[in-house]
Chains A and B, each alone.
Chain A
Amino acid sequence: MKNTNTAILELSNIGIRLPSGADREWAVRGVSFSILPQQTLCLVGESGSGKSVIAQAIMGLLPAALPLKEGKIDLLGKITPEQRSPEFNLLRSVKMGMIFQDAVASLNPIKRVGYQLEEILLVHGVSRKERKPRVLKMLRDVLLPNPESSYNSYPHEMSGGQAQRIVIAGALLLNPALLIADEPTTALDVTTQAEILELITKLKSKFDTSVLFITHDFGVVSDIADQIAVMKDGEIVEQGSAQDILQKPQHEYTQKLLKAAILDASKEKLEDTEEILKADAISLTYKKGFLFNQREFKAVQQVSLSLKAGSTLAVVGESGSGKSSLAKCLLRLENINEGRIFYRGKDMTNQKGVLLKEFRSKVQVVLQDPFGALDPRFKIIDAIAEGPIIHGSSREKANLGALEMLSLVGLTPQSAERYPQEFSGGQRQRICIARALIMRPEILIADEAVSALDVSIQVKILDLFEGLQKRLGFAMIFITHDLRVAAAISDSVIVMKGGKVVESGPTPSVFKNPQAPYTKMLLASAPGSGVGEVK
């Protein structure tokens, strides 16, 4: 029986240096916290806040470029050995286990799962006879439906959620005192995320383990945390018990993060306008392979939707639901196999030539990855002015328009002469929005346009979308997996699963009174039901 008052892990005044030439001197500095037995401490922060560096330091995995210069880390009352030393190897897995964001990538792709789990026991001297039964028992403990077949599987044969269960099994195999989880559910769909969070909570008491949980999502925090520490730019800005911080956040930054986690579907109602885009039972089937190796994949099946001028339609679904394929159909980037697409009452389904070009200039798109979407050899002004020039505008006129768009999306005119590499993700997304809007589109399709951004940036970009929509009057189709984003921005919503629409309607009624079982499950799985009450 462990003494309930001594901390499992104690960090005192940790300082980790960044290499010279980085945007700040310290990756983290002055970080202190401790974790008591059976407690879950959530380390919350956005990208670049230094939260993952702390996890690496505790695991002794800091790269040589990031030296631990100040402070000490005590594990079970003892100072931990030097980073990356062989002594640390003996500690890992026995005293601490770690799980990662991308579970499939953290498993060796060409070895069977069973081998990789048994290896942990092997290197810690467990006899051959004991290994397999222990691994199988652990696979049952992480609630894999079929332990024996999982044991014989390769990582790529598993879903993200199953792979995360495997990695959790590996981390807890030697019954460590501390489990470190670095954004373990960020890459998962909401329903899977809910299952994994439940599993971690369950195993925590079963194995008598403390948890250090790293995340950017206050929704997740509110579901599992006992203690919370909020990080910004390498420092802890606020820490305390979960109750205190969720109910009475003191620091402005904490308040902002909390607000972003609330699912709020109370957007003001829009007056009725004319229909601008309509899809009538459209289907898209992909054909793959060659000769003897052909397969079909039905990406979109019988989807109908209607978009009113100046309104926003959210398309919500988990990965593989066909929502991005639907966007490609609407942009006429894929030729649909069935159904019709109408733009202002005109049939665009098989339109070619001038009319298609005109349609394309009226429908613009903003994509998820702001890093891949801009050509690194184009100056910002050239990237934005390219569209109008292609459609016949003079360079001077296009450049003027581009400058105007830059100020509209909140960037300075000086940005015009710079290259994409010099901008952050949020700024690049603003540039992409400017590039789309300079065409004066009537419809803007945003495909997961804020998913790659930190929550506080996300809020700003969503505000930008809304403000610009009010000013310029375009309609939006907003494709997202994030229910909070959909609730915040849309007037109506369609929920997709397996290429089909399972529910559609005005946003407030779908979110407050969902009809389809799948929508109900999505909403129930969305993390942070506890956060809403703080409002």
Chain B
Amino acid sequence: MTGFILSKLFRAFITLLLTVSLVFIFIRFSGDPAAAMAPPDAPQEVIDQYAEKLGLDKPLWVQYTNYLGQIFRGDFGYSVDSGRSSVSLFLDRLPATLYLGGLSLLIALTVGITLGTVAALNRGNVLDRSVMAFSVFAFAMPNFLFGLAVILIGALGFQTYLGGQGATLSWIGVLPPALTLGLASTGSYARFSRSSLLETINKPFVLAAEARGISRTRRLVFHAMPNAAIPLVTLIGLSLGGLIAGSVVTEQVFAWPGVGQLLVRSVATRDIATVQFIVLAIAATMVFANLLVDFLYLIIDPRIRAQ
């Protein structure tokens, strides 16, 4: 088991190192950073001065090792825009994004799993088919479109503008974007939990439990559902991993002051240090979520513990 944990940690480390290197490569390929930072009509000497100041005149591998060294020291550079460190800019925006993403995940989990369970238990009848129809609608609907529709309905039907309430704690501010963001995952959770539960219900051990005289409710709650929940952990892990990256579009539509909005703005202004750090943070979230899932499996599934 220690071997398992060590090898998982090692893989996570390698993935992060690769991401860091890829970010370095992509940013260098996307054009001369010095030219991008300098004013548009700056003469070549000014650009060269910038390059020298930023260390861009050194050979590429020296730049790369310097870059790695900085990252290991926790120095992710400064925003050219505001002069603040990219980390502090990111941390300013993080609570808003987590608030929105967390709430939408909560909605997706409770609504999705409930719908999926109801559908599985009513397999083939009207209820099942309506849930499935809803879930197809939910994840086929692009969230930029659904978000706009929500804003439109709010404005025309209730004379309330839902597109820019800011990161307030008020329900009216957070619910529209959270619902929009949660809609697609609600659909996948419903579908996934339905098929997982149906598969488990038809497993031999559930029939065997019936043969042992265990009641229907007990079979469902104590035997089928815990087993059906195991594959859902992977899906929850993916949702957690996408918590920061997933909200970019929705934040834009609802003018939600989160990390996604910051990312879009930083890309537009070529604020390389900030873009770089947000991309790294997104990748790191995914890696850690995967790691978390791996360790969660150790806890909930004794078969994996044994390996």
- Give the interface centre of A92, A289, A293 by most chain B CB atoms within 10 Å: A293
Minimum C-beta distance from A165 to chain B (A): 15
In the complex, A123→B205 CA distance in Å? 17
Would A106 and B214 be within 8 Å (CB), given that A290-B7, A292-B10, A293-B7 are in contact? no
By a CB distance below 8 angstroms, the chain A residues around B208 are: 98, 100, 106-107, 167
Contact B212 A156 (CB under 8 A): no
Contact A292 B212 (CB under 8 A): no
Would A93 and B212 be within 8 Å (CB), given that A292-B10, A293-B7 are in contact? yes
| 1/0 contact string of A281-294 vs chain B (CB within 8 Å) | 00000000111110
Contact B205 A107 (CB under 8 A): yes
By a CB distance below 8 angstroms, the chain B residues around A293 are: 3-4, 6-7
Chain B CB within 8 A of A170 CB: yes
| 1/0 contact string of B1-28 vs chain A (CB within 8 Å) | 0111011001000000000000000000
By a CB distance below 8 angstroms, the chain B residues around A218 are: none
Chain B CB within 8 A of A334 CB: no
B 180-221 contacts with A by CB, 8 A: 203-205, 207-216, 218
Contact A123 B302 (CB under 8 A): no
Chain A CB within 8 A of B230 CB: yes
In the complex, A293→B213 CA distance in Å? 42
Minimum C-beta distance from A19 to chain B (A): 15
Contact A92 B212 (CB under 8 A): yes
By a CB distance below 8 angstroms, the chain A residues around B42 are: none
Summarize B's interface: helix, strand, loop or mixed: helix
Chain B CB within 8 A of A195 CB: no
Contact A120 B214 (CB under 8 A): yes
Which among A86, A102, A167, A292 is the interface contact of B7 at CB below 8 angstroms? A292
In the complex, A79→B155 CA distance in Å? 67
By a CB distance below 8 angstroms, the chain B residues around A109 are: 205, 227, 301-303
Would A89 and B215 be within 8 Å (CB), given that A109-B303, A110-B300, A156-B302 are in contact? yes
Please name the residue on chain B nearest to A90 by beta carbon.
B213
Would A156 and B6 be within 8 Å (CB), given that A105-B204, A110-B301, A170-B212 are in contact? no
A 69-101 contacts with B by CB, 8 A: 86, 89-94, 97-98, 100
Minimum C-beta distance from A439 to chain B (A): 40
In the complex, A343→B27 CA distance in Å? 59
In the complex, A105→B6 CA distance in Å? 31
Which among A107, A108, A123 is the interface contact of B215 at CB below 8 angstroms? A123
Contact A123 B218 (CB under 8 A): yes
Minimum C-beta distance from A308 to chain B (A): 43
Chain B CB within 8 A of A124 CB: yes
Minimum C-beta distance from B8 to chain A (A): 9
By a CB distance below 8 angstroms, the chain B residues around A154 are: 302-303, 306
Which among A90, A94, A110, A289 is the interface contact of B302 at CB below 8 angstroms? A110
By a CB distance below 8 angstroms, the chain A residues around B7 are: 289-293
Would A119 and B205 be within 8 Å (CB), given that A93-B212, A291-B7 are in contact? no
Please name the residue on chain B nearest to A94 by beta carbon.
B213
In the complex, A94→B214 CA distance in Å? 12
Which among B204, B218, B226, B301 is the interface contact of A106 at CB below 8 angstroms? B204
Chain A CB within 8 A of B72 CB: no
Which among A86, A106, A120, A289 is the interface contact of B205 at CB below 8 angstroms? A106
Minimum C-beta distance from A389 to chain B (A): 40
Minimum C-beta distance from A107 to chain B (A): 6
| 1/0 contact string of B221-234 vs chain A (CB within 8 Å) | 01100110010000
- Give the interface centre of B203, B214, B223 by most chain A CB atoms within 10 Å: B214
Please name the residue on chain A nearest to B206 by beta carbon.
A108
Contact A108 B204 (CB under 8 A): no
In the complex, A59→B204 CA distance in Å? 15
Would A110 and B226 be within 8 Å (CB), given that A292-B6, A293-B4 are in contact? yes
Q: Number of residue pairs across A and B with beta carbons under 8 Å? A: 96
Please name the residue on chain B nearest to A96 by beta carbon.
B211
Contact A61 B303 (CB under 8 A): no
Contact B227 A156 (CB under 8 A): no
By a CB distance below 8 angstroms, the chain A residues around B10 are: 291-292
Would A119 and B222 be within 8 Å (CB), given that A89-B215, A92-B212 are in contact? yes
Chain B CB within 8 A of A157 CB: yes
By a CB distance below 8 angstroms, the chain B residues around A170 are: 212
Contact A86 B215 (CB under 8 A): yes
By a CB distance below 8 angstroms, the chain B residues around A291 are: 6-7, 10
Contact A61 B306 (CB under 8 A): no
In the complex, A396→B70 CA distance in Å? 69
Would A89 and B204 be within 8 Å (CB), given that A108-B227, A293-B7 are in contact? no
Contact B306 A157 (CB under 8 A): yes
Please name the residue on chain B nearest to A91 by beta carbon.
B213
Contact B213 A92 (CB under 8 A): yes
By a CB distance below 8 angstroms, the chain A residues around B303 are: 109-110, 154, 156
Contact B207 A61 (CB under 8 A): yes
Contact B223 A108 (CB under 8 A): yes
| 1/0 contact string of A145-187 vs chain B (CB within 8 Å) | 0000000001011000000000100110000000000000000
Minimum C-beta distance from B186 to chain A (A): 26
In the complex, A443→B210 CA distance in Å? 50
Contact B223 A61 (CB under 8 A): no
Would A92 and B6 be within 8 Å (CB), given that A106-B204, A156-B306, A157-B306 are in contact? no
- Give the interface centre of A59, A120, A170, A292 by most chain B CB atoms within 10 Å: A292
Contact B204 A120 (CB under 8 A): no
In the complex, A92→B303 CA distance in Å? 30
Contact A98 B306 (CB under 8 A): no
Please name the residue on chain A nearest to B208 by beta carbon.
A106
Minimum C-beta distance from A86 to chain B (A): 7
In the complex, A108→B210 CA distance in Å? 12
By a CB distance below 8 angstroms, the chain A residues around B2 are: 292
By a CB distance below 8 angstroms, the chain B residues around A120 are: 212-214
| 1/0 contact string of B115-129 vs chain A (CB within 8 Å) | 000000000000000
Minimum C-beta distance from B279 to chain A (A): 28
In the complex, A124→B303 CA distance in Å? 29
Please name the residue on chain A nearest to B2 by beta carbon.
A292
Which among B3, B203, B210 is the interface contact of A61 at CB below 8 angstroms? B210
Contact B211 A92 (CB under 8 A): yes
Contact B213 A110 (CB under 8 A): no
| 1/0 contact string of B64-99 vs chain A (CB within 8 Å) | 000000000000000000000000000000000000
In the complex, A367→B162 CA distance in Å? 65
Contact B210 A292 (CB under 8 A): no
In the complex, A107→B227 CA distance in Å? 12
A 498-513 contacts with B by CB, 8 A: none
Minimum C-beta distance from B302 to chain A (A): 4
With A59-B211, A154-B302, A289-B3 given, name 20 new contacts (CB 8 A): A91-B213, A92-B213, A97-B212, A100-B204, A102-B204, A105-B205, A106-B204, A106-B208, A107-B205, A109-B302, A111-B223, A116-B209, A123-B213, A124-B213, A157-B302, A157-B306, A291-B6, A292-B3, A293-B3, A293-B7
16 of the cross-chain contacts (CB-CB < 8 Å) are A92-B211, A108-B205, A108-B209, A108-B227, A109-B205, A110-B230, A116-B209, A119-B218, A120-B214, A154-B303, A154-B306, A156-B306, A167-B208, A291-B10, A293-B3, A293-B4
Chain B interface (Cβ < 8 Å from any Cβ of A): 2-4, 6-7, 10, 203-205, 207-216, 218, 222-223, 226-227, 230, 300-303, 306
The 6 nearest A-B residue pairs measured at CB: A106-B208, A93-B213, A92-B213, A293-B3, A292-B6, A98-B211
